[in-house]
């Protein structure tokens, strides 16, 4: 397990603040030791939470040409047929994954192919499960065209705590199933828009693991 590069600046700043605060508490010799420990403990806990948030786990990717694997760690909060207006402008099967602040926040390509569309949209910071969050929040949309099964769209959506979406995809780039394509800082959501007829392999409330859990299989797989 390592630390994600998106956390470097945040962790350096947090380390400096922690060291400064602990040094100040150590020099505050008039205060009882128990009080100094009580004041220091929350600072250390917050720092450890930041380290945990920016962790990058070692994963064994599920490599399956007929499968759509999870792009994120989290909980399945929606499985429904919807109209997708940004790219397809037709009906698609939507699967939404909610990422809590304690989940790994790396995002992985769910399928292999070529990036046919990539666009960032600034926006609001509604709670990630709000019905309008997918169209009004800060978000980034990526579409990968699979050589045999067509296009799959996935959208990173900022939540109430998220304040930065990082997307490394560019149109025309190669996408490898299970390879990292982005990162979202703090609570957020990832939506998948799949071809109608895709065979969903998860249920509402299921906990899924990015690059590992099979979310669905293509209709003709």
Do 118 and 157 lie in one domain? The reply is yes
Do 49 and 104 lie in one domain? The reply is no
What is the number of domains present in the chain?
2
More confident of the two residues 57 and 147? 147
CA distances from 214 to 36, 78, 179 (A): 49, 16, 15
Find the CATH number of the domain harbouring 174: 2.70.70
Span 18-27, pLDDT tens digits = 888 888 877 7
Any domain includes 62: no
Would you say the pTM of this structure is higher than 0.85? no
Any domain includes 78: yes
Do 76 and 121 lie in one domain? The reply is yes
Do 88 and 185 lie in one domain? The reply is yes
Do 39 and 18 lie in one domain? The reply is yes
Any domain includes 75: yes
pLDDT band at 131 (very low <50, low <70, confident <90, very high): low
Say yes or no to pLDDT of 129 above 60.
no
Say yes or no to pLDDT of 137 above 70.
yes
State the average pLDDT over residues 55-74. 91
Any domain includes 61: no
Do 6 and 112 lie in one domain? The reply is no
Nearest to 66 by CA among 177, 181, 196: 177
Any domain includes 146: yes
Any domain includes 15: yes
d(CA 166, CA 184): 6
State the average pLDDT over residues 51-75. 89
Is 140 annotated in the active site?
no
Any domain includes 102: yes
pLDDT for the residue numbered 72: 94
Do 148 and 196 lie in one domain? The reply is yes
Catalytic residue chosen out of the listed positions 70, 96, 134, 188: 188
Any domain includes 156: yes
Which residue range forms the structural domain that includes residue 11?
2-56
Span 148-188, pLDDT tens digits = 999 999 999 987 665 678 899 999 999 999 999 998 876 68
Span 190-210, pLDDT tens digits = 999 999 999 999 999 999 999
């Amino acid at each position: 397990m390592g630390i994600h590069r998106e956390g470097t600046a945040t962790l350096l700043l947090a380390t400096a603040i922690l060291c400064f605060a602990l040094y100040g508490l150590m020099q505050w010799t008039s205060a009882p030791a128990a009080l100094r420990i009580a004041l220091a403990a929350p600072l250390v806990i917050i720092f450890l939470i930041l380290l945990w948030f920016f962790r990058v786990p070692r994963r064994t990717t599920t490599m399956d040409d007929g499968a759509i694997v999870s792009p994120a760690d989290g909980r399945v909060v929606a499985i429904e047929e919807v109209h997708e207006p940004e790219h397809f402008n037709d009906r698609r099967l939507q699967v939404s994954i909610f990422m809590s602040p304690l989940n790994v926040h790396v995002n992985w390509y769910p399928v292999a192919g070529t990036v046919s569309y990539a666009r960032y949209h600034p926006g609001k910071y509604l709670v990630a499960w709000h019905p309008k969050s997918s169209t009004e929040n800060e978000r980034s949309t990526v579409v990968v065209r699979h050589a045999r099964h067509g296009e799959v769209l996935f959208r990173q959506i900022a939540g109430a705590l998220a304040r930065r979406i990082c997307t490394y995809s560019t149109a025309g780039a190669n996408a490898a199933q299970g390879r990292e394509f982005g990162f979202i800082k703090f609570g957020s959501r990832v939506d998948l828009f799949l071809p109608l007829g895709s065979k969903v392999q998860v249920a509402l409330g299921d906990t899924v693991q990015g690059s590992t859990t099979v979310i669905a299989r293509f209709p003709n797989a």
